[in-house]
Amino acid sequence: MDDVTRRTLLAATAAGGLLTAATAAGAQTSEPIPQPQRPGHGGTDPGPRNLARDRQNPDLLVPPATDHGTLPNLRFSFSDSHVRQESGGWTRQITVRELGISKNIAGVNMRLNAGGVRELHWHKAAEWAYMLYGSARITAIDPQGRNFVDDVGVGDLWYFPSGVPHSIQGLNPDGCEFLLVFDDGDFDEDNTFLLSDWFKHTPNEVLSKNFGMPGSTFDHIPDPGELYIFAAPVPGSLDADKIAGATPVAQSFSHRMLAQQPIKTKSGTVRITDTSVFPASKTIAAALVEVEPGGMREMHWHPNTDEWQYYIDGQARMGVFAASGQARTFDFQAGDVGYVPFAMGHYIENTGTTTLRFLEIFKSSYYADVSLNQWLALTPPELVKAHLKLDAQALAGLHKEKFPVVPG
């Protein structure tokens, strides 16, 4: 212990308390140190503690008085995930192992450098993707031997059904970053069917017979794991990669989500993408939600399946109601994943000073939600009054139309 630290501790002890490292760190800034207390409840936390985490999660440290019960964790950050680094980029994932409640959906965050290739492969699970940055070229064929190749940019989607072989490659000038969503919470990005892996584990005489080529043709297949995400030359034009004479797939595997006309309110927008506008996406439906500062994704629930969320920009808090007196509140920042189990009521509030953007994702062919406000407005007023003791003005203020984003 150095002299400065010793003098600091001695001075604090003489004053009647131990000045912890967390307190000392907070004292060097103008930002007050958050404490797990509210009037009449809780107390201070002398430490040890992680002040950065406490500041990021104020509604875990000091939950609203309305929180109650033992709801499981409904939040996990990609920043807490292991990063697998390869020659062509990196990848990290959130599956049921990281977020135990997420049985139906797993997510992968991947970065490909310019030219970086996600090796030709396929999965047991279907793959849905949202482009976060840059541009990429994607390729695939379907079981009928129909061909697909396209370039995608920020806000674009793709969907590859289970078993469909495909690839992804970063383009100029700086490759790409994207979110992958799989319709199985037990999915593991490390357990995909890789092209080089199969070749390496097949006898050369079998490869020779299959392709009608000498066995020596396959003497230099890379070892398993060498490729996966690997560096390669940036491809040329899209037209140059289209296969002459190939039949295109019947339904495009890509979709321009940002080109959709959004549902607009005074405080935000919602774009909904399911099979009604993206026919290929049979098992994943999604909504891109934008909420202005002070606004809120209204109190609602989903009557068909669980909700998996990915936060793109801004700050938010989500309150979840689980029936039987159970409710819990969570805080989110960019790169976080949230989860709402089937049919649980919830809201998502913009707690920052910039636009909040996040994805609502569902293992379903269609999007559906039920608005609390609309339900009450379309229920006989006297029945609502008997439940909530609302006056005539409040009853008249309920909305018969759905407003997915409401103002502060």
Q: Give the separation between CA 181 and CA 127, rounded to whole angstroms.
A: 6
- Set 86, 360, 382, 401: catalytic member: 360
300 labeled binding residue: yes
292 included as an active-site residue: no
290 labeled binding residue: no
123 labeled binding residue: yes
Q: Give the separation between CA 356 and CA 310, rounded to whole angstroms.
A: 11
399 labeled binding residue: no
Contact present, 189 and 219 (Cβ < 8 Å): no
Q: Give the separation between CA 306 and CA 336, rounded to whole angstroms.
A: 17
Q: Give the separation between CA 170 and CA 117, rounded to whole angstroms.
A: 7
31 labeled binding residue: no
302 labeled binding residue: yes
The owner of tokens 């019947």 is 250
220 labeled binding residue: no
Catalytic residues: 360
- Binding-site sequence positions for Mn(2+): 121, 123, 127, 166, 300, 302, 307, 346
- Binding-site sequence positions: 121, 123, 127, 166, 300, 302, 307, 346
